[in-house]
């Protein structure tokens, strides 16, 4: 008679909902200045630099709106041959400002705001001209936006999608932009595992297009 060891069923923690994260996991917002986007044009190149000191260029509503406006300009102006996006300081960007999460609770209203303001809706229309120069952290919405175009990464760049830990899925276009670059399976791996990706892996997967030792500002 054969004996089989019956392993106990694994136990899992209940899935983290966004409402639970808002109630338990979010820290009190700090008083940081509104984000700014420095927009300059030299010949046929439009230069965009995200500037929000103290937050690692977290994208708040003013910075989000400025990004959408600048990318809309690139869509409408065919004389702009290249759009270069950077993050000021040591970090490209850590994604959306967590302090603003959940401020609009009505789903229909939140969707309407997103459809009017989401930078990805313009980035997808000028992605062939968009180049992001990435250093340090490139997280969440910052990565989702950059992935619509070419990514030129410094060796210290780290790519990360942390949304699932907040009870969310990437909502700034990443389910489209990353899937087009690295496929659905690897996108799902990044989303579901929260795994951080370094430059070598990003190059091998096609998430980054080139690696540079230093970015000249």
Instruction: Confirm whether 24 is domain-assigned.
Output: no
Quote the mean pLDDT of the chain.
85
Residue whose C-alpha is closest to residue 77's, from 36, 122, 114 = 122
> H or E element: which one contains 194?
none
Gap between the Cα atoms of 128 and 91, Å rounded? 24
Paired residues of 138 in beta bridges: 93, 159
- Out of 12-16, 21-25, 34-38, 127-131, which region has the weakest mean confidence (pLDDT)? 12-16
Instruction: Confirm whether 217 is domain-assigned.
Output: no
Helices 61-76 and 107-117: crossing angle in degrees, nearest 10, is 50
Instruction: Confirm whether 3 is domain-assigned.
Output: no
Instruction: Confirm whether 201 is domain-assigned.
Output: yes
Q: How many domains does the chain have?
A: 1
What tens digit of pLDDT does each residue of 146-172 get? 999 999 999 999 999 998 887 777 888
pTM above 0.95, yes or no: no
CATH label of the domain that carries residue 158: 3.90.226.10
Instruction: Confirm whether 8 is domain-assigned.
Output: no
Instruction: Confirm whether 187 is domain-assigned.
Output: yes
**Residues 22 and 102 sit within 8 Å (Cβ to Cβ):** yes
Give the domain extent around 109: 34-212
Instruction: Confirm whether 194 is domain-assigned.
Output: yes
Instruction: Confirm whether 190 is domain-assigned.
Output: yes
């Amino acid at each position: 008679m054969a004996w089989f060891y019956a392993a106990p069923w694994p136990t899992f923690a209940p899935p983290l909902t966004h409402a639970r994260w808002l109630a338990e996991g979010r820290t009190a917002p700090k008083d940081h200045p509104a984000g700014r986007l420095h927009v300059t044009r030299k010949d046929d190149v439009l230069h965009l630099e995200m500037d929000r000191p103290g937050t690692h260029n977290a994208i708040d509503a003013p910075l989000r709106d400025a990004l959408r406006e600048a990318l809309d300009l690139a869509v409408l102006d065919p004389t702009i041959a290249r759009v270069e996006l950077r993050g000021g300081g040591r970090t490209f960007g850590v994604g959306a400002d967590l302090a603003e999460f959940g401020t609009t609770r009505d789903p229909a209203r939140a969707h309407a705001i997103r459809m009017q303001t989401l930078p990805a809706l313009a980035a997808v229309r000028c992605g062939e001209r968009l180049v992001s120069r990435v250093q340090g952290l490139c997280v969440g919405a910052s990565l989702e936006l950059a992935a619509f175009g070419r990514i030129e990464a410094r060796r210290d760049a780290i790519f990360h999608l942390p949304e699932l830990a907040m009870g969310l899925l990437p909502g700034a276009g990443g389910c489209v932009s990353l899937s087009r670059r690295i496929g659905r399976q690897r996108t799902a791996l990044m989303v579901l595992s929260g795994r951080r990706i370094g430059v070598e892996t990003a190059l091998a997967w096609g998430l980054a297009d080139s690696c540079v030792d230093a970015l000249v500002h």
